[in-house]
Structures are given as structure tokens and as C-alpha cells.
Amino acid sequence: MWRGLWTLVARPARGPRSPRPCTRQGSGAPAPGSGATIFALSSGQGRCGIAVIRTSGPASGQALRSLTAPRDLPPARKACLRLLSDPRSEEPLDRALVLWFPGPQSFTGEDCAEFHVHGGPAVVSGVLQALGSVPGLRPAEAGEFTRRAFAHGKLSLTEVEGLADLIHAETEAQRRQALRQLDGELSHLCRGWAETLTKALAHVEAYIDFGEDDNLEEGVLDQGGSAWGVGGGDIWHLSPQRPPYSLSFPPSTADSEVRELEVALGAHLRDARRGQRLRSGAHVVVAGPPNAGKSSLVNLLSRKPVSIVSPEPGTTRDVLETPVDLAGFPALLSDTAGLREGVGPVEQEGVRRAQKRLEQADLILAVLDASDLASASSCNFLDTVVIPAGAGSPNGSSQRLLLVLNKSDLLPAGGPDPSPDLPPHLLLSCLTGEGLDGFLEALRKELAALCGDPSTGPPLLTRARHQHHLQGCLDALGHYKQAKDLALAAEALRVARGHLTRITGGGGTEEILDIIFRDFCVGK
Amino acid sequence: MSCNPSFGGIGKGHLMREVDALDGLCCRICDQSGVHYKVLNRRKGPAVWGLRAQIDRKLYKQNMQKEILNTPLLTVQEGAVEDLILTEPEPEHTGKYRVSGVVLVDGSTVYAESVVLTTGTFLRGMIVIGLEMHPAGRLGDQPSIGLARTLEKLGFVVGRLKTGTPPRIAKESINFSILNKQTPDNPSIPFSFINETVWIKPEDQLPCYLTHTNPQVDEIVLENLHLNCHVKETTRGPRYCPSIESKVLRFPNRIHQVWLEPEGMDSDLIYPQGLSVTLPAELQEKMITCIRGLEKAKMIQPGYGVQYDYLDPRQITPSLETHLVQRLFFAGQINGTTGYEEAAAQGVIAGINASLRVRHKPPFVISRTEGYIGVLIDDLTTLGTNEPYRMFTSRAEFRLSLRPDNADSRLTFRGYKEAGCVSQQRYERATWMKSSLEEGISVLKSIEFSSSKWKNLIPEASISSGKSLPLRALDVLKYEEVDIELLAKAVPEPLKEYTRCRELAERLKIEATYESVLFHQQQEIKEVQRDEALQLPKDLDYLTLRDVSLSREVREKLHFSRPQTIGAASRIPGVTPAAIINLLRFVKTTQQRQAAMDRLPQTDQRLCNTDKLEDRQL
């Protein structure tokens, strides 16, 4: 569906020079009845020197102020250097040039703001997410800036000649982007969620439209699979008047499915911190039994002597952190104490900290001594850390692990693989540098999976849109739970489904009716 | 009423309230003719309440005829229409012909400035029982063949639909004592905004009874499919009003409900709702008698199927005038709908526009954002239909705004000012109600106490006292267990005043329930209305239009549906965003050119137009 089509009549063709009825010096408060404020990355995707992020709409002033607090709006149309920070966390994002264009003297004719930020994907993603959190702002649809400019008479008709082509191209690009992203895990999830919601909604709508009028038959309701009508936790205990039997609605299936969906969405939003990881860096923790060469690996990766290295086991007793650029990804590298028992209190505290850090890791680099695989500490480490991570952690988080066998230089040259029974692993010698290329490539792949590859991965804008709609969906599901009547509950589900279908496409009334007529025998 | 002896229901009740808000007749007649009034969906929220009643056929007919025959300036003439009288079209409008009257079956002519066709199931109507088929509009009435031929010859795209009706059973032959009884509401809620009560007391109303089909019924149906040509036909029937045969086929091994509904106060017929069937008559009787309570039932009239012509509704404008023939309007089943209420909704719009057209006034169109009537007509004219179209509340995207309780405030004022179809009495009542509601809401907003004080005042309410912010009376009214009565006991001054009118008190409660959600919905409604304010030129020839780059497929779709606004065009499946932008650009250039032309003789013309458009948005 064609949303937010901007219209000419909303602001009748006033020439750009004609005076506005009231000069609004960007009061910030959205004018009543005006459209939403949109934002988008206006420069190209990927890594570049400077990236330009633009907003247009009545809340632009508010957005600019929120990100540059406590400073006031800069003078109109003058570039100013400001510290941008996230309005929620107050975490600094970037030092950037900002520009303020009060309407109508702007590209779109509305209040506009521009943020010229450093072009790293982490910064851009951070600023987009920060903007998304400002009330009244939403990611722009394809071609929406141009459309607004057109609607406000900012583009002459000759300039508009190419507009349709442009929008077509943009829509096409967005579709391809969406396809690319939807090819993977998210696609699977989103489609599944949208299906669940459509079904839940169809059940609620069937109950509203046919429950009493057309003697919706309760036997058919059972077809949904799970048992209806028992759920003590249901919001509604209704015994509709027309069919004397209690259909006990809403279908507990709809209800429990929505509850499950809510949990899944919440987990996804909390867990899919890819943007977050890009900004602050992935947490990479180096762990292993004592004297496996963890500190050597850290020093090798950071290209500086972060940790003291010695042949003595238990040299590192605390967690040592260092920010590094690994294959183009920002990462926070932590060296930890070797995991072993029965040592002095200081080292034991170090072991405790190491274990805690392991729990928080996005990626674990598990280091073992290739020449010492049979030792008790090596076996213990394999059993307690490596194997469980490979089996997937019980709390469903996405912890990744890369198993590295260090000190390959101590193995007999050309000998067989010392450990065919181990999980997939890499051989490396921190001393000679042998196997380093293979290791770095494996590391890059892991980080790309964690952070999203900025060069080929899902574009940041798409990601911001997804997050926006997923959050909107989750909020609506919250309203569903609180809804006091079925019409309100259905409305909440409609809103929730609307958000999901804006990610996956589709979603007309017909689709719901089709399910109703397929699943229920309705009719007089 | 040629099928079910009832009016209203979910979605359908919404349509009736809107018809009434425009002073259409069916609600007022139903308030004088019902025998069992019941509001459906009582506990699912006021936005989806469904006013419904069993109606006495005879009383309805009498009361309706009395009302019509007593309407001043109205001449009623009965006769079957066989042909249309056509003349040259008016050049300033689109269309190949212009209608100027009709020819009756006896050859006489009736001249008219505009004509509304409401053919029901009569266009080439064919009745089916078992393997027998004979031409008829309904049992005992001749079909309309000549008119169907005329319409086809003119170039209208014709389709075929089917529906059915159940057998009628003698009341005294049914054993009601072993069946579940359903009693009517007490008090009865009237359909019409101008009535406070219905004509009959709840205790004098008639009950309905419920029984069920059983495996024996399935058996009879399945064994005799070869004797049942209606079921085999490929003509589309409604998915939601299926015959017992299609229910058995689509959902095998199930028990289906059968409602036994009275046909009227002194009628000895019972209408078994849910038992629409086209088996040969003797098999129908056999099937009926194996149902509980109907063991000794006597069938008075068999059920039958009807197949009939309809015209693709994408050939009419939102004012229900045809694109092809000027001043010719279609309403009801001819447009592919089913149901009395859907027909009444189109009837009132076609009637209003037929009259406005003659007086050279702009058409009266209801938007999707204003009413179910708008949803119905927009769906028909932009999407068409290939099965009998029935209203559901799920078809309305702004369901929480388009409620049965507020149809008057949505439509009565427009009907009064733009169409002149609303009586002074109704207008004044709606005006009083509107100002009382607005005043009531602002009073409720102005009363603020802490939540603990509210809790003391109204211990019945489950107000959580944890919140430190003061609560408005309007917020308290949102609680399920709180109504105006209860609030007025707590704060008699100034709230007592609002308990006097039952309808006002109820509507204030409803407004409070939906207040927060409605605020968001208003924003969305405005967005849709902006698109709908963008008119596309009526005489646009999409097939040959050179200035706009459109694909062949889009051109054909636009050519067939002829959307009147950018909003409607964007709802047509297959019309792409890029096509819409191109159209938008085209409209803008045309508007600018038009404005430039207008500026020559009179400079303020454009301003006037703009003001009008802005008015429409409000």
C-alpha cells in the first residue's frame, strides 16, 4: 500500500517566495495535523569519509536539539561543530557538523536538519538509532524526501520528470536490499512472525464478525490445533449470547501465540545488537588453560605488548582489555587468567573474573596448547567451555567460539593432525606466525557474522527501519495484552501486523478473510 | 424482504445506522416491525456491536408501503422495466449515452431525469431445485430478461452470481420443547437515532430456537449430489452464507447450527437459518425430519438456489452513476452485493445522487474514513467483486472511529447540508447530541482528582492508587466497571446532568473507552483524506494519454475502474507507486494550467477552490 503519499492540496501550490502565514523559528513541537518527521542517510552506503544524515518534518528541530543537548539550535543555514550524543544514554556518538534549515527555505520546504558525521558504519548506525528514538521521527520511505519537496513546490516540473524513475529505482533498490536481508535468518523470523500475527488476527476477527451473527461453529475452532477455551489466564471469559455454548474466546491459541511472539520479538530486539556491537565493538575474549599462549595471541592481534608474557603458568591474573581494529571491525579484546583450580587467592579471583567475562563475550577465542592437549587443564577447559559453546548455550544467546591450537611449532613437522577428535579448530603458532592468515580470515568471518559486514551486509538504513517496525510491533502487542475489549485488542493486533508487513510486504484485508473462510465454517 | 426475516447484524447493523443517519427508511420501519430485538457482540466492545432484529415480514411490508405512499410529491407506479430510453450524452460529462426514462413491459414509457436500477436477483434470474431450473427472479416472479439484454448490448461487463434460501417449515409441526430457547434483549435497543424505544415490549416479543444438523443430514447431502446441479455449477456463491451442501462438502463430519426464526407475529412459518439447500423437494423434507425437534416437521415451501446477472461494479463511480450511461445509477445486488443492509446503503446513496445530478449539484460521496457505506462503495468501485459482497467490520480500517453509536455525527450534518436528505427534526437532534457530547467530554476532562481520592469516591473501580499524577474523570470513565451513573454519584455537580439521557450517557462512556486510540487513528485518517482530496480528471482517457508514462497494464486497470482520486487509484491492485507519482505530476500540471486559465477572468477563483478542498479535509 502506498503510505504517506504527500499531497499537493495539503499545502496549496504556494510559490517558494510567498510568505508563510506564521514564521515558525522551529519551535520543535510538532505542529498539529502535520505529517511525521522522517530521517535517512542521504549519502552513499558503506565506508566513506563523511556521511550526511538528513531529517525533514516538524520535529526536525526537536531532533537536532535532542542529539546536541545541552546546546541550542544553531543559527539557520550555518555549519556548526557539535558533539552528538545519544539522547537516551547520553553516550557520545561523534563530533559532527550540523546544519539547521527552518522551513520553507529548505530542500523539502519543511524544517530540515543535517548531520555531517564521520563515515564509519558504527557512527552512522549510532546516529540513525539515536534519531529513531526521538519521538515523532521515523525512517524515511523510498523517495520520501523528494516527494515532500515536490509536494511543497520545491522542485520544478522539469526537475520532477525523473522522479518516478528515481522512486522506481529506489523502491527496486530497497526491495533488493530487503530481499538480501530477508534471505537469511531475519527473513525466516519475520515471515514466521507475520504469519502468526495474521492467523491470530484472523481468529480474533472471525470471532468479532462471525462469532454471534453467523453461528461460527465451535467444533471448527478446535482445528487451530491447541485446545480452546481452557486458558485460565485468558483476558476474556466470554460466553457469547447467540450460540448458547461458550466459545470461550478469544481463542486461547491466538492469545498464547501472541504471548510467544512477544517473547520472541523482545529477545530478538535485545539480542540483535549488531548495530550496537559495531558502535562499541564486539567483545572478544581470549580464554584457555594456563600457559596456552593467550597473552601472546592478544599481543599478536593488537600489535603491541598489552600483556606480560612468560613461560610461567598464571602470569596473567586479571582481565586486560584493549580496543583493536580486527579486519576492519572494532573489537574489545580481553586477555584473561588461565582457567585452573587450586591456586592462590589472587589468581583465583582472576579466574573468577575470567569466567564472568566469558559469559559476556560475543566471541570466545579458546586457546589450547597444541603440544599439551592431554593435560588435565586442557581436557577440563574443553569440557567446560568449548563443548558447551559448540552445543549452543541454553539461554539461546548467540555466543560464538573459535578454537585455536597454539604452539604448532612444537609439533613434529608434517605430522598428522594432533587431535582429530576435537571440534573444528585452527592451528597457529604465535611464535613463528604460522597459520596466522587462516586464523585472521576465520576471525573476520566470525566478526562479520556478529556485526554485519558493512560493505556487503544489510544497509544501515534498512536495519534502522527494521528495528523501528519491530519495536512498534512489540509496543502494539503490549497494548493487545492490556486491551479491555475485543475491538481494541484487534486494533492492537492490526497495528502490530501493519509494522511487520511493512518489513515483509503484503498484508491486505483479503488475506485475513481468506484464512477466516478457510479455517472456519461461517454462514447462516 | 425476500429471504431472511431479519435485519442487521455485525457490520450490517453499522450500515443501517449510517443509512438512518442520512434519513433512510429501513431503521425506522424496523423499529415498528421487529418481533425479537437483540444486540450482538455486546461484550466485545462498542465499536463492533451489531444491532439485529427478527422482523415481521408482513408488518415490514405494510409499514414500508404506508411510509412510501405517504411521502409527499412521490408518485408510485408498479410495473416491470423492460428497456431503457437513451438520448445523446451531455457534452460536459463523460459517458456514451444519457438515460431519459424506461420502457415498461406493457410498452408504456416513464420519462425521468435520472434512473436508479435495483434489479435484485431478477436480471436473467434462474431458480434451481434439484435438477430443475426455471427462469424466475424469486419463487413466483418473472425474471428480467429484456433489461439484461439491453445492459449487455450497451457494453456493460456482466457476471453471474448465485445465492440460496432455506425451506420454510410449519411452526406448529416443530417440537420446540426439546430445543434451546433464545430470548430477546431487555430493554430493546432501537435501530433509529430518532427513536428512544421500539414499538413492542420485550416480554411480548417472540423467541428463537436452536437445533443442529447431524451425520444423517451429511449422508443425505452426499448421497444425492448427482441430483443437485446448483452445487455443481461454477457460478460463485458467497463463502460466508453457504448452503448446507457446501458446508458438508467443505467441512465434513461436523455438526452445524440451525436457528429456527419466526417469520412474524401471526405467521405460522419458521425460517431455518443455516439450512439453505437446493436438493429436490422430497429429499429436503427427508433431510429436515432427521433433525432434532423437526422430526414431524411439515415443509411448506422448499428451499431453492438463485443464479442471476450482476454488472462489474468497477463500471460505476462512487456516486453509483455508471461510467457508460449518464444519469443511470445502480444499487444493490446488481453491483454484486448481498444483503438488505448493503442494498439499503447503496440505495440511499444512489437516490441522493440521482437527485443531486438533476439539480446540477456536486455528487455526494462518502469516504472510507467517514463510514462503512464509504468502505462498501470504495471496495466495489476500485476492487470489484467476484463473489456476493457482504459487509464485515474487519473490512473497515478505521473501525474504532466508525462506530454504530456515532453514525449521526459522521453523516447527518453532511446529509443535511450537502444532500438535503435529512429532516429538520433529525438535524436538530444530531446537533443537540453533538454539542452535549462535546460539552460532556470537556467537563469530564476538567474534573481532576488524585487517584486515591477517586478510589475513595468510587470504591467499586479498580483504580490503582500508586500513580501520583491526578486522574481526569474521563480517565476514570475508561474503567470497565465505571459508567456515568457511578461517576455522577461521586461527583453530582456537574455530572448529574449527563445521566438524564440514556443515549448521551452511553456515548460518553464509549468516547472515553476509545479516547487514546482515536487520537492516533485521526492522524492516519488525515493522511488518507489528503490523498482522497486529490481529484483525477473525470474525462481522462488513460489508454491514449500521452503526457503520462504508464505501463499498458496500469493503463487498462485505470481505464476500467476510472478512480476519482489519487487515493482510490493507489488502492487498485497492480497500480505501482511510480504510476501514482506520474499521475500526481499530471494532476499538478493540469491544476496549475487550470488555475492559470481561471486567473484570467477572476483572480480569486483558485483561492475558493482551495478553501473548498480544505473544508473537505475537516
pLDDT per position as a tens digit, A160-213: 545 555 555 444 444 444 444 444 556 667 778 888 888 888 888 888 888 775
Task: State the average pLDDT over residues A293-310.
Answer: 78
Q: So what's the pLDDT on residue A307?
A: 72
Task: State the average pLDDT over residues A475-501.
Answer: 87
Which residue of B259, B517, B584 is in closest CB contact with A488? Answer: B517
Asked if the peptide bond before residue A345 counts as cis, ω within 30 degrees of 0, the response is no
Q: Are B348 and B135 in contact (CB under 8 A)?
A: no
* Confidence category of residue A445, pLDDT binned at 50, 70, 90: confident
* Confidence category of residue A447, pLDDT binned at 50, 70, 90: confident
Q: So what's the pLDDT on residue A165?
A: 52
Give the integer Cα–Cα distance in Å for A26 and A58. 8
Q: Which residue of B has its CA nearest to A479?
A: B517
Question: Which cell numbers in the block locate residue B439?
Answer: 460539552
Q: So what's the pLDDT on residue A417?
A: 65
Interface membership of B306 toward A (CB under 8 Å)? no
Give the lowest-confidence range in A98-112, B62-76, B335-349: A98-112
Q: Which residue of A has its CA nearest to B608?
A: A12
Give the lowest-confidence range in A202-211, A444-453, B477-486, B546-555: A444-453
Q: Are A286 and A333 in contact (CB under 8 A)?
A: yes
pLDDT at A143 over 70: no
pLDDT at B259 over 80: yes
Question: Which cell numbers in the block locate residue A375?
Answer: 593435560
pLDDT per position as a tens digit, B392-437: 999 998 999 999 999 999 999 999 999 999 999 999 999 999 999 9
Q: Where are the alpha helices (DSSP H) in B366-450?
A: 372-378, 407-414, 424-446
Give me the residues of B, 202-241, that contact A with CB < 8 A.
Answer: 210, 238-241
pLDDT at B14 over 50: yes
Instruction: Give the residue from B122, B110, B105 showing the smallest Cα distance to B77.
Output: B110
Q: So what's the pLDDT on residue B123?
A: 95
Contact A485 B513 (CB under 8 A): yes
pLDDT per position as a tens digit, A3-49: 333 322 232 333 333 333 333 333 333 333 347 888 888 775 555 67
| Residues linked to residue B141 through DSSP beta bridges, in sequence order | B138
Return the number of other C-beta atoms located less than 10 Å from residue B57's C-beta. 19
Q: Are B518 and B441 in contact (CB under 8 A)?
A: no
* Confidence category of residue A228, pLDDT binned at 50, 70, 90: very low
Q: So what's the pLDDT on residue B614?
A: 40
pLDDT at A418 over 50: yes
CA distance A67 to chain B (A): 26
Q: Which residue of B has its CA nearest to A523?
A: B241
Q: So what's the pLDDT on residue A281?
A: 62
Q: So what's the pLDDT on residue A155?
A: 61
The upper half-sphere exposure of residue A489, i.e. CA atoms within 13 Å in the direction of its Cβ, equals: 27
Give the lowest-confidence range in A448-457, A482-491, B343-352: A448-457
Residue A180, Cα to own-chain centre: how many angstroms? 15
pLDDT per position as a tens digit, A42-91: 775 555 678 889 999 999 999 999 999 878 889 999 999 999 998 888 88
Interface membership of B179 toward A (CB under 8 Å)? no
How do beta strands A112-118 and A50-56 pair? antiparallel
pLDDT per position as a tens digit, A266-281: 877 765 545 445 445 6
Task: State the average pLDDT over residues B472-483.
Answer: 91
Q: Are A472 and A494 in contact (CB under 8 A)?
A: no
> Considering only CB atoms, which chain B residues are within 8 Å of A244?
180, 182, 210
Q: So what's the pLDDT on residue B581?
A: 72
Task: State the average pLDDT over residues A298-306.
Answer: 76
Q: So what's the pLDDT on residue A240?
A: 35
pLDDT mean across residues, chain B = 89
Return the number of other C-beta atoms located less than 10 Å from residue B73's C-beta. 4
Which residue of A212, A243, A517 is in closest CB contact with B240? Answer: A517
Q: So what's the pLDDT on residue A416?
A: 62
Taking the CA atoms of A46, A50, A56 and A62 in sequence, report the sign of the dihedral they define: positive
> Considering only CB atoms, which chain B residues are within 8 Å of A505?
none
Q: Which residue of B has its CA nearest to A486?
A: B44
* Confidence category of residue B60, pLDDT binned at 50, 70, 90: very high
Q: Are A209 and B393 in contact (CB under 8 A)?
A: yes
Which residue of B256, B534, B595 is in closest CB contact with A217? Answer: B256
Q: Would the pTM of this model clear 0.80, i.e. be above it?
A: no
Burial string for A380-416 (b: 16+ CB within 10 Å, else e) reads ebbeebbeebeeeeeeeeebbbbbbbbbbbebeeeee
Give the integer Cα–Cα distance in Å for A112 and A59. 9
Q: At which residue does the C-alpha cell 443501517 appear?
A: B16
State the best of B3, B218, B584, B607 to mutate against chain A, taking most chain A CBs within 10 Å: B584
Contact A7 B259 (CB under 8 A): no
Which residue of A168, A212, A524 is in closest CB contact with B241? Answer: A524
pLDDT at A250 over 60: no
Contact A486 B613 (CB under 8 A): no
Task: State the average pLDDT over residues B47-70.
Answer: 96
Contact A512 B394 (CB under 8 A): yes
> What percentage of chain B carries pLDDT values higher than 70?
94
Q: So what's the pLDDT on residue A33?
A: 35
pLDDT per position as a tens digit, B570-593: 888 777 766 777 777 777 777 767
Contact B395 A509 (CB under 8 A): yes
> Considering only CB atoms, which chain A residues are within 8 Å of B617?
9
Q: Is B245 exposed, middle or buried (0-12, 13-18, 19+ CB in 10 A)?
A: buried
Q: So what's the pLDDT on residue A314?
A: 72
* Confidence category of residue B552, pLDDT binned at 50, 70, 90: confident
How do beta strands B328-330 and B448-449 pair? unpaired
Q: So what's the pLDDT on residue A189?
A: 73
Q: So what's the pLDDT on residue A464?
A: 66
Higher pLDDT, A396 or B38: B38
Contact A7 B566 (CB under 8 A): yes
Interface membership of B182 toward A (CB under 8 Å)? yes
Q: So what's the pLDDT on residue B323?
A: 94
**A368-382, A467-481, B245-259, B439-453: which is most confident:** B439-453
* Confidence category of residue B233, pLDDT binned at 50, 70, 90: low
> Considering only CB atoms, which chain A residues are within 8 Å of B213?
none
CA distance B217 to chain A (A): 16
Q: So what's the pLDDT on residue A505?
A: 56
Residue contacts between A and B (CB atoms, under 8 Å): 195
The packing angle between helices A163-182 and A486-504, to 10°, is 100
> Considering only CB atoms, which chain A residues are within 8 Å of B578?
164-165, 167-168, 171
> Considering only CB atoms, which chain A residues are within 8 Å of B586?
none
ipTM for the complex shown: 0.83
Task: State the average pLDDT over residues A478-503.
Answer: 86
CA distance B60 to chain A (A): 21
pLDDT mean across residues, chain A = 70
> What percentage of chain B carries pLDDT values higher than 90?
68
Residue B395, Cα to own-chain centre: how many angstroms? 12
pLDDT per position as a tens digit, B152-189: 999 999 999 988 899 999 999 999 999 999 999 999 99
Q: So what's the pLDDT on residue B601?
A: 52
Asked if the peptide bond before residue A416 counts as cis, ω within 30 degrees of 0, the response is no
Please give, one letter per residue, the 3-state secondary structure of A182-209: HCCHHHHHHHHHHHHHHHHHHHHHHHHH
Give the integer Cα–Cα distance in Å for A318 and B381. 74
Q: So what's the pLDDT on residue B403?
A: 97
pLDDT per position as a tens digit, B308-339: 999 999 999 999 999 999 999 999 999 999 99
Q: So what's the pLDDT on residue B291?
A: 96
Interface membership of B186 toward A (CB under 8 Å)? no
Q: So what's the pLDDT on residue A47?
A: 54
Which residue of A4, A171, A209 is in closest CB contact with B394? Answer: A209
Beta strand ranges found along A13-107 (DSSP E): 37-41, 50-56, 80-85, 92-101
Amino acid at B559: H
Give the integer Cα–Cα distance in Å for B382 and B561. 6
CA distance B317 to chain A (A): 22
Interface membership of B40 toward A (CB under 8 Å)? yes
* Confidence category of residue A253, pLDDT binned at 50, 70, 90: low
Give the integer Cα–Cα distance in Å for B131 and B134. 10
State the best of A138, A160, A208 to mutate against chain B, taking most chain B CBs within 10 Å: A208
Q: Is A329 exposed, middle or buried (0-12, 13-18, 19+ CB in 10 A)?
A: buried
Give the lowest-confidence range in A349-353, B87-91, B179-183, B450-454: A349-353
Give the integer Cα–Cα distance in Å for A493 and A255. 11
Instruction: Give the residue from B562, B123, B99, B82 showing the smallest Cα distance to B310.
Output: B123
Task: State the average pLDDT over residues B209-215.
Answer: 93
* Confidence category of residue B214, pLDDT binned at 50, 70, 90: very high
The torsion defined by the Cα of A348, A354, A360 and A365, in degrees rounded to 10, comes to -150
Q: Which residue of A has its CA nearest to B618?
A: A33
pLDDT at A320 over 70: yes
